[in-house]
Amino acid sequence: MPNTEDRLLGQYASLVRRLALQLAARLPSNIELDDLIQAGMMGLLDAIRRYQHVQEAQFETYAVTRIRGAMLDELRRLDWLPRSARGKARLIEQAMVSLSQRLLRRASEAEIAAELGITQATYRQLLDDACGVQVIHYEDMAFDGSENGMECALAGEFVQSAQRRNNPLNQVISRDLHRAIADAVEALPERERQLLSLLVERELNQNEVAVVMGISEGRVSQLRTQAIVRIRAALAALAQEDGWSHLELKIFCSEVS
């Protein structure tokens, strides 16, 4: 007869795998699904052992938080986005910000490549190298299962956790972040907005998105990176225009770049 701990581990193992698959679908291919699952199982075990201290919460809701946290700790340990990729994403972002200020519109791929002084083919390779860049920290983008639209999934649990804090500044920043990301998503080219919708709202993997959009899986990765960097550039430009404080700028344009 299995004890309660073993029974709950078996009962919620499928939940760990589902959460791991959701994360893995949005990560570079070098991240092993088994590593996420193993970390998630440790998070589940921790949730089982700690749950008695938070009886006011439903166990599954509490377990999801602990499982995700354990997976994200593992991603941080693995340093899943190399510093070189962050640097390349920053180059693209800076070019986009400069172009948007001069052109007063979003720049095309050809214009971004020209701003960087490289060919369009080299620019696309740069997008490949920057694969995995996020709007803010990856943990801030974890899909929360809500129905508040793509921008809520992109902002992720950061918005929710900030709103739960009693600090009025945190609450204002979280609302501004949510609104700013929504505006940035809306301003994306139609093709990139459609791609993010398929990835984030419908939770398709890159292969499925490629089939739906009639493009290669590699092109899906490039367009996703470009869309995310456009959002980051829009947030960075907004920060400059509005003169946000250092704290706010750090939240909007964090060290993922």
Q: What is the CATH number of the domain that holds 64?
A: 1.10.1740.10
**Residues 192, 226 contacting (CB under 8 angstroms):** yes
One domain for residues 160 and 108: yes
One domain for residues 94 and 13: no
Q: Is 257 within the bounds of a domain?
A: no
**Residues 155, 140 contacting (CB under 8 angstroms):** yes
The series of mean pLDDT values per 10 residues for the chain, 257 residues long, is: 78 93 74 90 91 67 89 73 77 93 93 96 92 58 44 48 45 66 90 92 87 94 93 81 46 36
One domain for residues 25 and 104: no
Predicted pLDDT at 124:
95
Cα 30–Cα 31–Cα 32 angle in degrees, nearest 5? 110
Which amino acid type is present at position 14? S
One domain for residues 68 and 103: no
C-alpha distances (whole Å) from 214 to each of 204, 206, 209, 220, 224 are 14, 12, 8, 10, 15
One domain for residues 132 and 191: yes
Q: Is 153 within the bounds of a domain?
A: yes
CATH code of the domain covering residue 241: 1.20.140
One domain for residues 105 and 185: yes
Cβ atoms < 10 Å from Cβ of 21? 14
Q: Is 54 within the bounds of a domain?
A: yes
One domain for residues 137 and 215: yes
What range defines the domain where residue 234 resides?
Answer: 83-252
Q: Is 195 within the bounds of a domain?
A: yes
Q: Which tokens in the block code for residue 65?
A: 């938080």
Predicted pLDDT at 22:
84
One domain for residues 161 and 36: no
Q: Is 100 within the bounds of a domain?
A: yes
One domain for residues 42 and 121: no
Predicted pLDDT at 32:
83
Predicted pLDDT at 249:
39
Place of tokens 């946290």: 69
One domain for residues 245 and 131: yes
The last residue of a domain, from among 78, 111, 129:
78
**Residues 128, 222 contacting (CB under 8 angstroms):** yes
One domain for residues 38 and 121: no
The last residue of a domain, from among 78, 105, 140:
78
One domain for residues 96 and 215: yes
Predicted pLDDT at 171:
52
Predicted pLDDT at 242:
59
**Residues 219, 207 contacting (CB under 8 angstroms):** no
The last residue of a domain, from among 38, 63, 78:
78
Cβ atoms < 10 Å from Cβ of 222? 20
Structural domains counted in the chain: 2
